[in-house]
Each structure stands twice: as C-alpha cells, then as structure tokens.
C-alpha cells in the first residue's frame, strides 16, 4: 500500500493550459462490458459474468460511496440489434439507475461484440452500426440523460468503438475473436475506424451535447537485448502503428474515411503494466525496473503534443496486492504529465470489478471489488481496502485543486458556468 510520503505527491492537481473538468470526479470506475465471440466460438458477456447485469444500481451506489461519480458501462450492440430491429430494453434499466444515482456514464456502444448476422468486412455493417448509434443517442437526448444545463454535466459521453487497434489484432490478425481472420488486421482496423466515424456523425446528429471518448491502447515496444537491430523497426511501430487508429479518426491518415480532429475529440488512453514489451516478442513484457521502459508521463506528453486534445486514462489497473501501488504510480505519472501542460481529465480503474479471462475462465483479482463468479453465489463484492484508501485520500485534493487552477478552455464558456461547475462538484460530494 502507498505510504504517506507517496500520497503527499498528490497535494495538488496542476491543470495549467487545460480545460474545465469534463467529468464530475477525477477517478472513474469501468465495468468490463466486452461481448466478443471468443476463440471457442462462445459468446462472452462480462456484464453477466460479473453480476453487474443484475446489480448495476448497487454497483453505481458502491462507486459513489468511494467518491467516484463517473463510470464506463456497456450498451451491448449484439443484444440491441436483431437483424436491424433495435430493442433497447436491456439498457433502459441502466439508464434509469444512472439517472437515479446521479452517475455520469461513458457509454460503450461496441466492445468487441456485434450482431452475428453481420460481417465487419461487408455491408450493411457500417450502415447498421450508424443507425444503432443514432438511435441510442436519440434515446439519451430525449430522456434528458446527463442534464446538459448543469455544470460539467452539459455533455453526454459515448465510446462508439472500443479499442480499434486491439480488436483489429484480435479479430483479424491472429483470429482469437470474431470475425476470426488471419493476417487481415490492417483491413479490419480501417473498417472499424470507418464505422466509428459514421457512428460519431450519427451520434452528433441526434445529440448536440455529445462528447466522444475514443479509447485505444497506449503501448510501447523496444528491441530485445539479443536483437538490437530491431530498434529501427520498433521505433517505426511506436510512431506509426500505435497511434494509427487515432490518426484515422483525426483524418491524419486515410482521409477518405472522413475523419477529422472533431471526430477524435477526447483521447481515451488504455494502459496496463503489460503494455510495454520487446518488439516481436509479445510475451516478453518489460519489468517495472527495466531501463528500456518509457515513463507513462512521457507517453502522455507525446500523445498530447501529437493531437492537442483532452486526454483521459480510460483503462488502467493491476492485479492482486499491487493494485494500490499501481494506481499511486499511475497518478504520479499523470501529475508529471499535467505539470508539463497535458490536458488530462481523469483516470478510470478498469475493470472496477474482478473478472475472468476471456478464453481460460481463470479468475483475476482486479479493480476495487473482488468477485469470483465461479464460486460466489449472488456475486457478492468484497472491497479491496488498500485501493479504496488510496482513492479516497487522493481524490478530493485532486479535484479541488483542479478547479482552482487557471484554465484555458477548449470550448466557449462563461464565468457563471465556471462558478456553477465548482458548485456542482461541491454539491455532489
């Protein structure tokens, strides 16, 4: 667990050059919501496996009890869309619970799972996806979900396609997820980026208060000690392939897909301890003490310099007893990045509930609550006290000092709105 000296690092939250907080809490909790067809052609549903599907309102309340008022949660396209007929009854209870518990949710619309009658390489995949995105955004806007007239809640948040890069690799490069292709990762990446752009356009047509959080892995590779000649290739991978999906959304590459900086919007950074490895050796993960490992703050600084867009650490977590220390290290790196002018809006603990492996079913102690769906009848949650203590000690000082910093806004806003934003956060405590 983090000691007092480590925690003192977070006595302030510098936001120089950034915008007002996008979310009502610095920390967020992410509910693993993937629904792929895995290697065994079995449909996974992590919301069911963790019991969140049955306990979402209680889970939102648990987040709030820890001072967390922002969540990532899933809509599950494969459940909503039946051959083009859309039925949102499975997600309506989530919307009602989020509204009742005053929880700001970033809605994942496509987390590896899509309707089984569709093929990502063929029409009408993109047309159906855009129609689904439009209908969901219209549903949120019609309900008034998010109350865009209240301080930082003037936005509603969407992630159209989660992890374009990883899904392209898993689904079409190595074929462990549907569509089970081999060697076609680059083609699937283009199709997913095109779908995301169409989905973003559809969302914004239905919801003028939409903000888009485009989540993708931030990774870094380096040459193996015994193959230093691979460094040039590793450098090319880091500068071209790691950010390629974001570049497509931003219109920097493949402009024929229709991307632009407006489509990129908020850059969601997914980062875990395994995200740095030796090039061409995916199983050779760099240890925390390896001098070849690049500080996370440097990766954030470089990413912000590349796009000049708001950043959000949309996924991060560790396993077992390392969970609290990992979060302290990550937030320390985030603070260094913010000191350097990075416009960073928070950190999402993802997954916030323990989960099982997609392929083996092995349980992993991750997140703020432990839960083993193989043995725990009724899916009881057991809080991981060291991580809870770290979150509660860091969060309030992070948020208060964030609001007190001089701001350069990335959208027009009046002084009255600045004051209402501060008052709104204070009231929500």
pLDDT digits (tens, 9 = 90+) for 47-58: 999 999 999 999
Distance CA 367, CA 369 (A): 6
Q: Which of 223, 245, 224 has the alpha carbon at shortest distance from 234?
A: 223
In the chain, pLDDT over 90 holds for what percent of residues? 77
pLDDT score of 418 more than 70: no
The answer to whether 218 and 275 have CB atoms below 8 angstroms apart is yes
Q: Which of 77, 168, 88, 92 has the alpha carbon at shortest distance from 130?
A: 77
**Residue 415, pLDDT score:** 34
Packed helices 415-428 and 385-404: angle between N→C axes, nearest 10 degrees? 160
Distance CA 108, CA 73 (A): 6
Q: Which of 31, 37, 82 has the alpha carbon at shortest distance from 53?
A: 31
Backbone angles phi, psi at 307, to 5 degrees: -110, -25
Identify the helix (H) or strand (E) that includes residue 201.
helix 185-206
In the chain, pLDDT over 70 holds for what percent of residues? 84
Q: Which of 10, 60, 54 has the alpha carbon at shortest distance from 369?
A: 60
Pick from 26-35, 363-372, 383-392: least confident: 363-372
pLDDT per residue as tens digits for the range 311-366: 999 999 999 999 999 999 999 999 999 999 999 999 999 999 998 888 887 888 89
User: ∠ CA 86-88-90 to the nearest 5 degrees?
Assistant: 130
Cβ-based neighbour number of residue 363 at 10 Å: 17
Distance CA 5, CA 224 (A): 35
The answer to whether 25 and 70 have CB atoms below 8 angstroms apart is yes
**Residue 54, pLDDT score:** 93
In the structure, what pLDDT confidence band is assigned to residue 19 with cuts at 50, 70 and 90? low
Distance CA 284, CA 2 (A): 28
Phi/psi class of residue 161: alpha, beta or left (left: φ > 0; alpha: ψ in -120 to 50)?
beta
CA 277, 281, 282, 287 torsion-angle sign: negative
pLDDT score of 162 more than 90: yes
Strand, coil or helix: what is 100? Answer: helix
Mean pLDDT across 300-305:
98
**Residue 158, pLDDT score:** 98
**Residue 371, pLDDT score:** 84
| Mean of per-residue pLDDT scores for the chain | 87
Strand partners, 156: 210
Mean pLDDT across 96-122:
97
Helix ranges restricted to H, 282-383? 296-307, 323-339
Beta strands in 79-196 (DSSP E): 81-82, 85-86, 104-108, 156-159
**Residue 417, pLDDT score:** 33
**Residue 7, pLDDT score:** 36
Beta strands in 152-291 (DSSP E): 156-159, 210-217, 220-222, 266-270, 276-278, 281-285
- Domains of the chain as residue ranges with CATH: 26-333+348-387 (3.20.20.80)
**Residue 163, pLDDT score:** 98
pLDDT score of 169 more than 70: yes
pLDDT score of 120 more than 70: yes
pLDDT score of 410 more than 60: no
pLDDT score of 293 more than 70: yes
* CA distances to 7, 297, 335 from 398, in Å: 11, 17, 9
pLDDT per residue as tens digits for the range 254-265: 999 999 999 999
């Amino acid at each position: 667990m983090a000691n007092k000296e480590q925690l003192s690092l977070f006595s302030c939250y510098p936001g120089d050059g950034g915008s007002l907080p996008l979310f009502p809490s610095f920390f967020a909790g992410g509910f693993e919501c993937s629904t792929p067809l895995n290697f065994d052609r079995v449909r996974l549903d992590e919301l069911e496996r963790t019991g969140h599907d049955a306990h979402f309102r209680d889970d939102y309340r648990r987040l709030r009890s820890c001072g967390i008022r922002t969540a990532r949660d899933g809509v599950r396209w494969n459940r909503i869309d039946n051959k083009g007929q859309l039925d949102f009854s499975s997600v309506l209870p989530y919307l009602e619970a989020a509204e009742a518990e005053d929880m700001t949710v970033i809605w994942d619309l496509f987390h590896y799972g899509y309707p089984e009658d569709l093929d990502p390489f063929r029409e009408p995949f993109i047309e159906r996806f855009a129609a689904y995105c439009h209908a969901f955004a219209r549903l949120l806007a019609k309900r008034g979900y998010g109350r865009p007239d209240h301080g930082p809640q003037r936005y509603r948040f969407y992630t159209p396609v989660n992890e374009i890069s990883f899904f392209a690799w898993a689904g079409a490069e190595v074929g462990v997820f549907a569509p089970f292709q081999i060697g076609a990762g680059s083609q699937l990446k283009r199709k997913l980026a095109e779908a995301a752009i169409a989905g973003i356009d559809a969302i914004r047509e239905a919801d003028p208060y939409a903000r888009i959080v485009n989540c993708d892995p931030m990774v870094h590779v380096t040459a193996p000690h015994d193959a230093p000649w691979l460094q040039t290739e590793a450098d090319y991978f880091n500068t071209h392939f790691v950010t390629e999906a974001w570049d497509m959304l931003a219109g920097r590459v493949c402009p024929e897909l229709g991307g632009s900086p407006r489509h990129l919007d908020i850059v969601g950074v997914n980062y875990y301890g395994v995200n740095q490895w030796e090039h061409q050796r995916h199983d050779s993960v760099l240890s925390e003490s390896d001098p070849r490992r690049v500080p996370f703050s440097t990766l954030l600084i470089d990413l912000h310099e590349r796009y000049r867009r708001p950043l959000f650490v949309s996924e991060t977590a560790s396993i077992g007893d390392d969970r609290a220390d990992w979060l302290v290290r990550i937030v320390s790196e985030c603070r260094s990045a913010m000191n350097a002018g990075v416009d960073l809006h928070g950190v999402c603990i993802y997954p916030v509930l323990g989960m099982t492996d997609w392929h083996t079913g092995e349980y992993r102690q991750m997140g703020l609550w432990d839960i083993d769906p193989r043995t725990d009848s009724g899916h009881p949650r057991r809080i991981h006290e060291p991580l809870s203590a770290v979150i509660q000690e860091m969060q309030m000082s992070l948020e208060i000092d964030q609001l007190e910093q001089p701001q350069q806004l990335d959208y027009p806003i009046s002084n009255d709105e600045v004051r209402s934003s501060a008052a709104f956060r204070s009231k929500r405590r």
